[in-house]
C-alpha cells in the first residue's frame, strides 16, 4: 500500500480497516488460485513451505529481503490502523503494533498449519481476522 492508497481510503471509506482486510483476503485467495493454476496442482502447500525454508537456508541475503518485506507489510497495516482510529472505526486505545502482530501471526500460523494438511482456508482466515477486528471496533 502506498500513501496514495491510504489517501484514497481516507476520502472514500468510513471503514478503511474493514475494507483493507477484505481486500487483503481477496488478494490472498486470488494469489492461491493463480499459483495453483500455474503449477497445475503439482506444487502442494507443503512443497511451497519447503521451498521457502530452502531459500532461507541457501540465500545469503534472505534475512535482509524478508525483513524488508515484513517492514513494508507492517507499515501498510500501521497506516490503515491509524486511519481507522482517526475515522472512529476502531477504538483509540488499540495498540497498533499488537494488532498488526496478531493479524499477521494468524495468517502465517494458518498458512503453516494448512501446509501440513491441505491448503489455506480463506474462509477460516477471514473468520479469524474478523475476531480481532470485532474486538477492536467501537
Greater pLDDT, 138 or 86 = 86
Contact 45, 114 (CB under 8 A): yes
Q: pTM score, two decimals?
A: 0.86
**pLDDT classification of 7: cutoffs 50, 70, 90:** low
Residues 6+ apart with CB under 8 A from 91: 85, 136, 137, 138
Of 61, 66, 73, which is closest to residue 101 (Cα–Cα)? 73
| pLDDT (0 to 100) of residue 71 | 96
Residue-wise pLDDT tens digits, 48-69: 889 899 999 999 999 999 999 9
Each domain of the chain, given as residue ranges in start order, spans 3-136
3 pLDDT above the threshold of 60 = no
Amino acid at each position: 500500500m502506498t500513501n496514495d492508497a491510504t489517501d484514497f481510503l481516507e476520502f472514500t471509506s468510513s471503514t478503511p480497516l474493514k475494507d483493507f482486510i477484505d481486500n487483503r483476503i481477496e488478494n490472498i485467495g486470488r494469489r492461491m488460485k493463480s499459483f495453483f493454476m500455474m503449477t497445475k496442482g503439482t506444487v502442494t502447500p507443503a512443497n511451497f513451505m519447503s521451498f521457502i525454508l530452502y531459500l532461507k537456508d541457501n540465500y545469503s541475503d534472505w534475512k535482509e529481503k524478508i525483513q524488508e518485506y515484513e517492514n513494508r507489510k507492517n507499515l501498510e497495516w500501521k497506516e490503515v490502523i491509524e486511519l481507522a482510529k482517526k475515522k472512529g472505526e476502531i477504538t483509540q486505545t488499540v495498540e497498533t503494533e499488537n494488532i498488526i502482530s496478531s493479524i499477521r501471526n494468524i495468517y502465517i500460523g494458518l498458512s503453516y498449519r494448512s501446509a501440513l494438511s491441505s491448503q489455506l482456508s480463506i474462509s477460516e482466515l477471514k473468520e479469524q481476522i474478523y475476531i480481532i477486528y470485532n474486538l477492536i471496533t467501537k
